[in-house]
C-alpha cells in the first residue's frame, strides 16, 4: 500500500469500518444490474427491466437523503439497521413476485420498497471526514481510497450478479446483493468508536443541506452523470446478448470499473494544487467526451477498451466532488450532503437505464449507445453553467471553519499548511 494510504489507516478502527463499507456497498453495483438481468432472463423484456431498475433507483434517490438526515440527528446505528431490514424485506417480495410471474404492478411496488437502502458510502466517508477534519491531505487520500472501494464493487459486483443470475437461477444476483447489504450495515454499525457523534436537533438550523448553491450544482450535474452509468449498464447487457454472450457483459462492465479504480488509486497519491472546482469541471467534461468512442464499438473487446478509457475520468471526478461537498456543506449536514450527490446519481441512473431500455427494445443495442452520449453532453453543459457556484465562497452556517475550507478548495497550500501547523 502506497504511503498516503498507509498513513490514513494508522488510526484505530479505520480498516474495519472501510472493510464493512466495502461489503455494504456491493448492492450498489449488484442490485440494479441484477434486476435487469433477472427480468430479462424471465421475460425477455428490457423495457420492463429498465423501468424496474429505474423505479428502484428513484426510490433510493427519494429515501436516501431522508435516511442520512436522520443519521446526522440520531446516529448511524439507530437509523441504518431498520432501513436495511426494510429494504431486504422488499427485495424478497420482488424476487418472489418475479419468480411466480405475479402482476407487473407488484414488481413495481416491491422495487419501490427496495429503494429504502442507506447510502453506505456516505456513512463511511462521514467517518473519514470526522477522523481527518482539518487534515486536507489525509482526507484527500481517504476519499480517494473510498473511490477505489467503490470501483472494486463495480468490478466484482456485476460479474457476481450477472454470473449468478445467468449460470445459477435468475434471482440469484439480487438475492446475494441483499445478503451483502444486511451484513455490511450490521458490521459497520457495530463499530461505535468511529461513528460520528449525532448532532442535537437545535444544531440542525437552516433546513436541508440542499440549500447550498454549490451542492445544488453538484447534484444536478450528477443527475446527468448518473444517466451515463445507467445507460451503459443496460446497453452493455443488451449488446453482449445480441452477440450471443450475455454473461460477458459483467466482464466488460468490470473493465469500465477497473479503469476508474486505477485512476482513483493514482489520483490519491497526488499532492494537488489549484482550484478543486476547475478539476471537477474538467473531469465532468472528460466523462462526456469518453462516451463518443462507444459508438464505434463493433464487438465486445473493442467495447471493453472504450469503456476502460472512459473509466479513467470517473474516480478522480468523484473524489473531487466529495471534497467540494465537504467544503460547501456545514458539518452538521455532511452525511446528508454526500447522500444528495448519491441521490443525483441514482436519479440519473433511473433515467438512463429506463431510456436505454426503451431504445434497445425499439431499435437495438447499437442505437442504445446514443443515450450515454446525450447524457454526457447534458452533464458537461450543466457543469459549465454551475461551475461559478462552486467557485464562490462557501457560506458557513455553523460559524466556524469556512475560511479554512475555502482556502483548501482554492488549493492555497501556504494558508493550508499554516492552519495545520
pLDDT in tens, 360-416: 888 888 888 999 999 999 999 999 988 777 665 554 444 333 334 443 344 443 333
Report pLDDT for 64: 79
Distances (CA, A) of 49 to 100, 102, 222, 258, 360: 16, 15, 23, 26, 11
**Structure confidence at residue 419 as a pLDDT band (50, 70, 90):** very low
User: Cell digits for 128?
Assistant: 473519514
Whether pTM > 0.85 for this model: the answer is no
Cα–Cα nearest to 241, from 375, 99, 366, 55 = 366
CA dihedral over 261, 264, 266, 268, signed as positive or negative:
negative
Q: What is the DSSP string of 71-85?
A: HHHH-HHHHHHHHHH
Report pLDDT for 421: 37
Domains present along the chain, CATH in parentheses: 15-191+209-420 (1.20.1250.20)
Question: Each residue of 168-225: pLDDT tens digit?
Answer: 888 888 899 999 999 999 999 999 888 888 765 544 455 676 677 778 888 899 899 9
Rounded Cα distance, 178 and 311, in Å: 27
Which class for 203: exposed (0-12), middle (13-18), buried (19 or more C-beta within 10 A)?
middle
Instruction: Indicate the SS3 state at residue 194.
Output: coil
The whole-chain average pLDDT of the chain stands at 81
Rounded Cα distance, 9 and 62, in Å: 33
Mean pLDDT of 23-27: 89
Rounded Cα distance, 196 and 71, in Å: 9
First to last CA, the chain: 27
**pLDDT > 60? residue 72:** yes
Any idea which residue has 454551475 for its cell? 386
Contacts of 408 (CB under 8 A, 6+ apart): 136, 276, 323, 327, 416
Amino acid at each position: 500500500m502506497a504511503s498516503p494510504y498507509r498513513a490514513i489507516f494508522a488510526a484505530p478502527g479505520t480498516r474495519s469500518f472501510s472493510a464493512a463499507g466495502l461489503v455494504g456497498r456491493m448492492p450498489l453495483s449488484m442490485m440494479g444490474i441484477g434486476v435487469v438481468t433477472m427480468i430479462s432472463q424471465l421475460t425477455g423484456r428490457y423495457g420492463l427491466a429498465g423501468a424496474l431498475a429505474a423505479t428502484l433507483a428513484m426510490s433510493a434517490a427519494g429515501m436516501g437523503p431522508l435516511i442520512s438526515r436522520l443519521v446526522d440527528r440520531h446516529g448511524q446505528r439507530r437509523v441504518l439497521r431498520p432501513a436495511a431490514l426494510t429494504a431486504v424485506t422488499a427485495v424478497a417480495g420482488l424476487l418472489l413476485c418475479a419468480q411466480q410471474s405475479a402482476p407487473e404492478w407488484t414488481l413495481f411496488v416491491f422495487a419501490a420498497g427496495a429503494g429504502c437502502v442507506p447510502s453506505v458510502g456516505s456513512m463511511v466517508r462521514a467517518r473519514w471526514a470526522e477522523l481527518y477534519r482539518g487534515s486536507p491531505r489525509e482526507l484527500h487520500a481517504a476519499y480517494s481510497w473510498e473511490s477505489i472501494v467503490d470501483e472494486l464493487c463495480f468490478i466484482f459486483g456485476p460479474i457476481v450478479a450477472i454470473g449468478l443470475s445467468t449460470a445459477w437461477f435468475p434471482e440469484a444476483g439480487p438475492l446475494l446483493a441483499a445478503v451483502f447489504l444486511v451484513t455490511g450495515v450490521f458490521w459497520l454499525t457495530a463499530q461505535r468508536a468511529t461513528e460520528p457523534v449525532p448532532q442535537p436537533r437545535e444544531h440542525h438550523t437552516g433546513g436541508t443541506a440542499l440549500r447550498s448553491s454549490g451542492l445544488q450544482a453538484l447534484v444536478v450535474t450528477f443527475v446527468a452523470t448518473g444517466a451515463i452509468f445507467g445507460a451503459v449498464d443496460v446497453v452493455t447487457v443488451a449488446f453482449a446478448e445480441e452477440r450471443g454472450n450475455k454473461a460477458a457483459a459483467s466482464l466488460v462492465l468490470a473493465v469500465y470499473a477497473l479503469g476508474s479504480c486505477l485512476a482513483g488509486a493514482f489520483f490519491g497519491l497526488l499532492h494537488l494544487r489549484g482550484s478543486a472546482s476547475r478539476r471537477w469541471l474538467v473531469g465532468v467534461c472528460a466523462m462526456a467526451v469518453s462516451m463518443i468512442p462507444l459508438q464505434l464499438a463493433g464487438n465486445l473487446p473493442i467495447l471493453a477498451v472504450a469503456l476502460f478509457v472512459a473509466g479513467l475520468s470517473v474516480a478522480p471526478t468523484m473524489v473531487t466532488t466529495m471534497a467540494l461537498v465537504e467544503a460547501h456543506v456545514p458539518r452538521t449536514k455532511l452525511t446528508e450532503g454526500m447522500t444528495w450527490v448519491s441521490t443525483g446519481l441514482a436519479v440519473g441512473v433511473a433515467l438512463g437505464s429506463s431510456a436505454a431500455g426503451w431504445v434497445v427494445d425499439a431499435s437495438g443495442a447499437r442505437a442504445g449507445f446514443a443515450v450515454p452520449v446525450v447524457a454526457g453532453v447534458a452533464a458537461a453543459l450543466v457543469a459549465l453553467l454551475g461551475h461559478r457556484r462552486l467557485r464562490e465562497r462557501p457560506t458557513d452556517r455553523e460559524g466556524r471553519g469556512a475560511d479554512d475550507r475555502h482556502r483548501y478548495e482554492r488549493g492555497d497550500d501556504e494558508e493550508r499548511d499554516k492552519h495545520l501547523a
